Amino acid sequence: MFNISLHTLTTIFLTLLLGTPVLVSIGIFGSALTMGISKNNILGPIITVPFYIPVLIFSASAIESVSNGLPYDLQIYVLLSILLLILPTMPYLLKYTLRISINN
C-alpha cells in the first residue's frame, strides 16, 4: 500500500495504536481546562499543542528508523511508557480539573 513495505506499515500501525490514546487524553484534558470559558472551544486544543510534541517526535522517529532499516524498539518503548504513564493518571487529573471548572 502506497509503496510502503509491510514491515514499515506494521510499525506505523503500532505507533498509531500507542500514540492515539495519548493524543486523545491530552485533547480531553485541554477541553476540560477550558470548560469554564464560554464560546472559546478552540483554546483548549491550541494550548495543549506543546504536550503533543513528544508523542509526535517519537512516532516520527520510529517510522524514520524502520524505513532506514535501523532498530526502532527504543522509540516504541518510550511511546509505550508514555501511554502507561498517561492512562492511570489522566482520570484523576481530569476529575480534579473538571471539579475546578464546574465548582464555581
Partner 1 sequence: MNISKIANLKYFYKHTKNVSKILSFITFSLFIVGIFWGLYIAPKDYLQGDSYRIIYVHVPAAWLSLQVYIVMAVTGFIALVWKIKIMEIISIQSASIGAYFTLIALVTGMIWGKPTWGTYWVWDARLTSELILLFLYIGIIVIYSSFTDKRQGAKIAALLAIVGLINIPIIHYSVEWWNTLHQGPTVTKFEKPSAHITMLMPLLYMLLVFNLYFVTVLIKRVRLGIFQREKNTKWMESYLND
Residue type, 31: S
- Which CB sits closer to partner 1, 9 or 93? 93
CB of 4 to partner 1, least distance (A): 24
Contact footprint for partner 1 (CB under 8 A): 29, 33-34, 36-37, 40, 43, 46-51, 53-54, 93, 96-97, 100-101, 104
CB of 10 to partner 1, least distance (A): 26
> What is the full DSSP assignment across 60-73?
HHHHHHHHTT---H
In 3D, which of 67, 26, 66, 18 has the Cα closest to residue 45?
A: 26
Relative orientation angle of helices 73-102 and 49-67, to the nearest 10 degrees: 160
- Which CB sits closer to partner 1, 4 or 49? 49
Which cell numbers in the block locate residue 16?
498509531
In 3D, which of 62, 60, 88, 57 has the Cα closest to residue 74?
A: 62
- Which CB sits closer to partner 1, 11 or 48? 48
CB of 53 to partner 1, least distance (A): 6
Residue type, 51: F
CB of 36 to partner 1, least distance (A): 6
